[in-house]
Amino acid sequence: MARPAARRAPGKRVAVLGAGSWGTTFAKILADGGADVVLWARRPELAREIQEAKRNSDYLPGVNLPIGLRATSRLDLALAGAEQVYVCVPSQTLRQNLIAAEPHLHAQATVVSLMKGVEKSTGHRMSEVIAEVLPIAESKIAVISGPNLALEIAKEQPTAAVVSSTSLETAQAVASVSRNPYFHSFVNTDVIGTEFGGVLKNLIAVAIGIVDGAGYGENTKASIITRGLVEMTDFAVAYGAHPDTLSGLAGLGDLIATCQSPLSRNNTAGRLLGQGYKLPEVVNQMQQTTEGLASVGPILELARAKGVEMPIVEQVRQVLAGTLAPKDIAPHLTTDDEPQGERTMDGQAQGGSALRRALQRAFDQLRHGGRGALGDRP
């Protein structure tokens, strides 16, 4: 008589807060990797669809979710016993959602940010807001970032991301759960660079969308991506990031994916602006929060505080404010009156060597098992 198949032991108990496209996709990633996942949805009807039909037709149409993935609209049930809590809510609602979740958190839970924004009222990164609101050690906080367009990953197209925490042990523990055959996680300890990479690339993607909508071609877009990487790195380094992090998955990798794909909400919002729609009209057309639009003002304030020049982001601000026509975004991408050497990531004029180094480091990360910024390791 045939022996019955062995039942797989349940994996680590985790919760995902937020059932938008990325939150639902990451719940799928975790479940496909063997974790015991409960997804929290704010709307009971959405939780019910995910729980019963294993679909999220609002945000991931046509995608079948894992049979074992559970969903609820009750925070207490979602968080009960969760050893790791992945948070994926709009950045401007993070604080209030954390306040609501705190009474139900496991005392030793690790909290992981999947968000790419800054809080408008404080300019704080998402991990800083988590540390302020929740009574947990900094070493129990992690962030995940990278070239992660939700719909592609939900369809199981291979990609990679980086998990960052001040504690390498925490980053490795999260990475070991956040991986499966189509999603690979690397680790580093540069939380500042990892988070700011995810925030800043959104602003450059809005700029790319604007010039695309205005009818500019590939030369203009390539120039913005290249100079945008410089702005991103200058800003992040001014706040304590390691420059190599911006050459990795959380910087250059995410920048390329977000700027070139019509699946990017930031790119789409920019393209609508470039086509002549006003900001309120764009916001109304977007089904989900577009973090790049909310982050422009806070990032420019933080840049001014450190004396960092960000001409591309400044022009995006002017388009959002209606004081600059999209077609007038400067092709030369600078406000300088006099010719200057091309600034590189280390502030020196060395021609195109900085971009070559950035591309080489990114390719080396994928080719050699993710070794990169501050000892990134799989």
- 60-64, 158-162, 219-223, 357-361: which range is least confident on average? 357-361
> Where residue 366 falls among pLDDT bands split at 50, 70, 90?
low
DSSP state for residue 371 in the 8-state scheme: -
Average pLDDT over residues 304-330: 90
Dihedral sign (CA 301, 227, 332, 277) = negative
CB 271 within 8 A of CB 334: no
pTM of the entire structure? Answer: 0.84
The average confidence (pLDDT) of the chain is: 87
Q: Residue ranges of the alpha helices (H) in the chain? A: 21-32, 44-53, 75-79, 94-101, 126-133, 150-154, 168-177, 191-213, 218-238, 254-260, 265-274, 279-285, 291-306, 311-321, 353-367
Report pLDDT for 1: 43
Q: Is 291 assigned to a binding site?
A: yes
If DSSP codes are grouped into helix, strand and coil, which group holds residue 187? Answer: strand
Q: Is 116 assigned to a binding site?
A: yes
78 closest CA partner among 116, 113, 36: 36
Q: Is 150 assigned to a binding site?
A: yes
Report pLDDT for 133: 97
> Where residue 360 falls among pLDDT bands split at 50, 70, 90?
low
Average pLDDT over residues 135-147: 97
Report pLDDT for 352: 43
> Where residue 3 falls among pLDDT bands split at 50, 70, 90?
very low
Q: Is 21 assigned to a binding site?
A: yes
Does the structure show a pLDDT above 90 at 337? no
Report pLDDT for 349: 39
Q: Is 74 assigned to a binding site?
A: no
Report pLDDT for 5: 37
The answer for 86, left when phi > 0, alpha when psi is -120 to 50, beta otherwise, is: beta
Does the annotation count 278 as an active-site position?
Answer: no
Average pLDDT over residues 153-180: 97
Average pLDDT over residues 131-160: 96
Given 120, 155, 201, 327, the catalytic residue: 201
Report pLDDT for 338: 62
**Dihedral through CA 322, CA 328, CA 334, CA 336, nearest 10?**
-100
Does the structure show a pLDDT above 70 at 371? no
| pLDDT more than 70, % of the chain | 83
Report pLDDT for 346: 47
For residue 286, CA distances in Å to 137, 175, 270, 342 come to 36, 31, 11, 36
Average pLDDT over residues 4-13: 57
Q: Which residue's entry shows tokens 């050497």?
A: 341
- In degrees and rounded to multiples of 5, residue 183 shows phi and psi of -135, 115
Does the structure show a pLDDT above 70 at 373? no
